[in-house]
């Protein structure tokens, strides 16, 4: 018997013994100390890695000898290694075919400085699984045309090391850095330019009363710009003045930050055009409009059919152009309203100078990030006047409407320099409205038979201010 045959017989026997030692090991682990469990796991992991390497080596030898070839390699592997039927047979077959094709025997392995040679060394030593080795080869093939020839071994080695320590996800993320460092002149710029046509934002998938879904693919430049814009805005913002923690999940903070960026951008551009940040077409029934019930349905955009609740509509129409298509009791159109009760460009500038930023206690958002809020909503008879207005950022604008909060707006600042003082008691808005006297005969009151005029008049400001002052005193006297 030759020396090689004797050595193979010894290893075969040892492999069988290792298998016998591992069989049923779970039944005796109760006798292991805590530290010994870690040692056993390390030994089992080393055996598993070496066994994985041995499977590939056996498959390479079978292909080299011609025992199996081509498409039959995968089935041969699956037949003799049943555990790979769960996954992994394709990778073992791929490595075996590539390595066997690179040389005609054990003495002629793939060139050691080639990506295949570097990967084969790692797989044969048990440092890489066959599947991970295939991923490294695919990544090497992708970047090879963009690299200097002499850099390819360095790059392949770096990919093997990264994949060994962290898996394939981080390895793929290293591609731009490798190309920028080892690529031909201009290769990285060319890669970035080729990415642009693939970047896209899907049309919204809208379901009434549900979330709207978008899919977004961005170039690195676009992603960097987006993250630079929403990163600071999406950080947790606890309120140091009130002691409230920011309990919003990270995903919610990010989408609200994106909304805030879009709102700011559209507001600046739209103000230059027409003095209003957005135009919203909504159809709703007159009864729902008056009673704050039901929902309005969006018209005239890709979001057509989306239902918006009354609270949402009231928040949007604080400082947005609303075209309300109002329906009667039989669904008949009563009239088409013009843009309803918007703060003028001059009024918003006055508010920015007066309030300086978001007026919600503890908020530090600058004026450029805010919207003009009707303290008493125009639907409740509040005029579009600076003494009925307060600047609020997107987040706290939503909070004020959701919690239905009231603010006292002062012509002269208080001792803390505030023109706007918020009552943070939930429902303070409703308590003030309940305390207001009923409308006088000369005040416009919407009825079911009315049509919307082209330019609906505000209440007389002096009358309204008197009412609010009276109601505010009654509210303070009654207490929350």
Confidence of residue 245 (pLDDT cuts 50, 70, 90): confident
Asked if the model's pLDDT at residue 220 lies above 60, the reply is yes
**Half-sphere CA count of 116, side-chain side, radius 13 A:** 14
Domain boundaries, the chain: 38-196, 222-257, 258-478
Determine the distance from the C-alpha atom of residue 450 to the mean position of all C-alpha atoms in its chain, rounded to a whole number.
45
Q: How confident is the model at residue 349 (pLDDT cuts 50, 70, 90)?
A: confident
State pLDDT tens for residues 144-176. 888 888 889 999 999 999 888 888 877 777 777
For the residues 388-396, what does the mean pLDDT come to? 89
Considering only residues 166 and 271, tell me which one the structure prediction assigns the higher pLDDT.
166
Q: Note whether 129 and 89 are within 8 A (CB).
A: no
Q: Is the pLDDT of residue 334 over 50?
A: yes
CB-based burial label for 323 (10 Å; 0-12, 13-18, 19+): middle
Closest CA to 401 of 319, 477, 459: 319
In this prediction, residue 365 carries a pLDDT of: 84
Backbone angles phi, psi at 150, to 5 degrees: -70, -15
Residue 132: predicted pLDDT: 93
Q: How confident is the model at residue 431 (pLDDT cuts 50, 70, 90)?
A: very high
- pLDDT given at position 107: 57
- Burial label, 9 (beta-carbon count in 10 A; 0-12, 13-18, 19+): exposed
Among 74-88, 160-174, 323-337, name the most confident range. Answer: 74-88
Mean pLDDT confidence for 276-295: 65
pTM: 0.49
């Amino acid at each position: 018997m030759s020396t090689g045959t004797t050595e193979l017989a010894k290893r075969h026997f040892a492999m069988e013994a290792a298998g016998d030692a591992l069989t049923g090991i779970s039944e005796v682990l109760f006798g292991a100390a805590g530290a010994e469990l870690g040692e056993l796991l390390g030994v089992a992991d080393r055996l598993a890695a070496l066994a994985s390497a041995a499977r590939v080596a056996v498959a390479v030898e079978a292909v080299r000898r011609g025992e199996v070839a081509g498409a039959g390699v995968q089935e041969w592997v699956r037949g003799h290694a049943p555990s790979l039927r769960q996954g992994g047979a394709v990778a073992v077959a791929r490595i075996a075919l590539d390595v066997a094709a690179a040389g005609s025997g054990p003495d002629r392995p793939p060139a050691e400085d080639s990506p295949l040679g570097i990967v084969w060394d790692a797989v044969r030593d048990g440092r890489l699984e066959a599947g991970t080795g295939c991923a490294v080869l695919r990544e090497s093939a992708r970047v090879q045309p963009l690299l200097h020839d002499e850099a390819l071994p360095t790059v392949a080695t770096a990919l093997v090391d990264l994949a060994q320590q962290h898996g394939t996800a981080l390895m793929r993320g290293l591609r731009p850095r490798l190309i920028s460092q080892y690529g031909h002149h201009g290769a990285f710029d060319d890669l970035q330019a080729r990415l642009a046509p693939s970047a896209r934002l899907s049309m919204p998938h809208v379901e009434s009363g549900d979330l709207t879904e978008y899919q977004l693919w961005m170039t690195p430049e676009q992603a960097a710009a987006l993250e630079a814009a929403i990163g600071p805005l999406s950080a947790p913002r606890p309120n140091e003045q009130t002691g409230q923690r920011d309990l919003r999940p990270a995903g919610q903070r990010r989408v609200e930050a994106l909304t805030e960026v879009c709102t700011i951008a559209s507001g600046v551009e739209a103000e230059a055009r027409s003095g209003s940040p957005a135009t919203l077409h909504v159809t709703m029934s007159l009864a729902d409009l008056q009673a704050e019930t039901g929902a309005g349905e969006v018209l005239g955009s890709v979001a057509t059919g989306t239902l918006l609740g009354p609270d949402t509509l009231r928040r949007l129409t604080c400082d947005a152009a609303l075209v309300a298509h109002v329906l009667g009791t039989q669904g008949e159109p009563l009239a088409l309203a013009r843009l309803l009760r918007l703060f003028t460009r001059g009024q918003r500038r006055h508010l920015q100078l007066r309030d300086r930023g978001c007026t919600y206690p503890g908020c530090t958002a600058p004026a450029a990030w805010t919207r003009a809020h009707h303290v008493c909503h125009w639907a409740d008879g509040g005029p579009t006047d600076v003494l009925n207005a307060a600047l609020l950022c997107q987040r706290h604008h939503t909070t004020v409407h959701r919690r239905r909060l009231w603010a006292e707006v002062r012509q002269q600042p208080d001792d803390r320099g505030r023109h706007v003082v918020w009552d943070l008691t939930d429902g303070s808005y409703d308590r003030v409205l309940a305390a207001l006297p009923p409308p006088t005969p000369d005040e416009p009151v919407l009825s079911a038979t009315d049509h919307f005029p082209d330019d609906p008049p505000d209440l007389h400001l002096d009358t309204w201010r008197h009412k609010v002052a009276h109601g505010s005193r009654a509210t303070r006297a009654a207490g929350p």
